[in-house]
Chains A and B, each alone.
Chain A
Amino acid sequence: MKSLDPRVTRLPEMESTKAKKPLDQFGTFEVFVQAKEGKPFQHEGAVHAPNLEMAYVLAKETFTRRFTCTSIYVADTCDIFVSPTTEGNQSAYELIQSENSNFSKKTFEIYQLAKRGKQHVNVGTVEAGAPTEAMFLAKDLFGTGKIIYNVWAIDKSKIRFTSDEEKDLWLTLPEKKFRDASDYKGGDKLKEFLERPKQ
């Protein structure tokens, strides 16, 4: 753009026809954490990693550094199938159309979002030929009649689980109180400092 105004010419020429550079970041992987034995796995967030195995290794400290936990697993974000989302006026299950696929049956892990602002929680598995079919079948199995805002399905074979022999990874975690900010009692120390007798 030609202009005498320096506020215009300081900007670089638009290169809209050029292809964008690929992102110089790794892809993302979703992390699920089990807080206690017997409790369902819950989605906690994502990590960047070059592959599934590295994602598992990095997720362990990123998401289970502080609070006690018994197990984690990870899946590539691209392998998470997401249902339509509702605003709470109806259940997401009502927006999933019946679909009979001819593909051979696989096991899908199903997750439900029960409230906006909460995390997706695992409710169980279904056998289906495709993710949409899995979600449709999940309605009868796990749809309790309550409003569900959103449903996820993941092909179980795409998940990097914690093996039985890896369960020892969190053995000493409950002792690491020094990782918890509240253990430093910062407020108490500040109060003590402010209330100390002036010298």
Chain B
Amino acid sequence: MNTEALKELLYKMADDLLIFGHRNSEWTGLGPLLEEDIAFSSMAQDKIGQSHALYQLLATLGEPEPDAAAFTRSANQFHNCQLVELPNGEYDFSLIRHFLFDTADALRWQLLTQSSYEPLSLLAKKIKGELHYHTLHANTWIKQLGSATEESISRLQNSLAYTLPYALGIFEESPNEGEIIHSKIFLGEQALKTKWIVKIEEVISQTQLHLPNLATIAPAYGGRTGKHTEHLQPLLDEMSEVFKIDPTAEW
């Protein structure tokens, strides 16, 4: 097995989940309903828990411990897609991002239950219930608001148009793609993208939303190789604030 290729896969997944979890946690206390505030905060905790498990796997492969991996790298050392670092904006955007990202994420983990790298396949099986809830939550909201009022439909439609280029950036291929597929660690970004399109079409077809032709959209690539928007570094500065004052702080 090519360890460098494996590490790259683990880093991009862990970074996606850490940054996405942090962004979602920014809704805590501000959610549109008490119940939704709690749900979104719980899912943020799940994401950060999942990223922690991946950083732990990386540590067994000789990489830094989870806290150091999360809090001491700068933006250009992060491999998350740009989608997850975008500021929350309004709730319609956060919901669309949640739907587009979590659909891909749940499918990715589902494929990884078959991974030849056993620690990853075990983790994938362990967290399947969390992912089940995240997609149930996202799909239910999109179906609800995607067919509710003129305002909710047009807000989601506009957010969908804005978010899709970034969502396609999830599937940016790595130079190690062939190696990853050949060693049966993961089926690859292209296979994932094909499955993702089927899933999002299935949900969107149950609403009054319209999915633009994805072939005409230029994906926002760069995140996987450390090229990020101006929004990532401020997020990292805030997230690592306590760690930088006192690395031994305990909660």
Contacts and interface: CB of A to CB of B under 8 A. Distances in A.
A160 to B, nearest CB: 11
Contacts of B45: 176, 178-179
A171 B126 contact: yes
Interface residues of B, number: 23
A185 B39 CA distance: 25
Given A48-B35, A176-B45, A184-B251, A57 B137 contact: yes
Given A58-B36, A168-B129, A169-B133, 15 more contacts: A47-B35, A48-B33, A48-B35, A49-B35, A50-B144, A54-B140, A59-B35, A61-B38, A61-B39, A62-B39, A168-B132, A171-B126, A171-B128, A171-B129, A184-B251
A184 B148 CA distance: 42
A170 B172 CA distance: 32
A166 interface: yes
A107 B81 CA distance: 51
B130 interface: yes
A57 B33 CA distance: 13
Interface of B: 33-36, 38-39, 42, 45, 49, 126-130, 132-133, 136-137, 140-141, 144, 148, 251
Contacts, number: 60
B128 A62 contact: no
Chain B interface, >50% SS class = helix
A172 B39 CA distance: 16
B227 to A, nearest CB: 34
Given A168-B129, A171-B128, A60 B39 contact: yes
A65 interface: yes
Given A48-B35, A62-B39, A65-B38, A57 B127 contact: no
A51 interface: yes
Contacts of A171: 126, 128-130
A51 B129 contact: no
A60 B35 CA distance: 9
A147 B60 CA distance: 61
Contacts of B126: 171-172
B129 A170 contact: yes
A57 B132 contact: no
Given A51-B144, A61-B38, A61-B42, A166 B132 contact: yes
Contacts of B33: 26, 48, 58
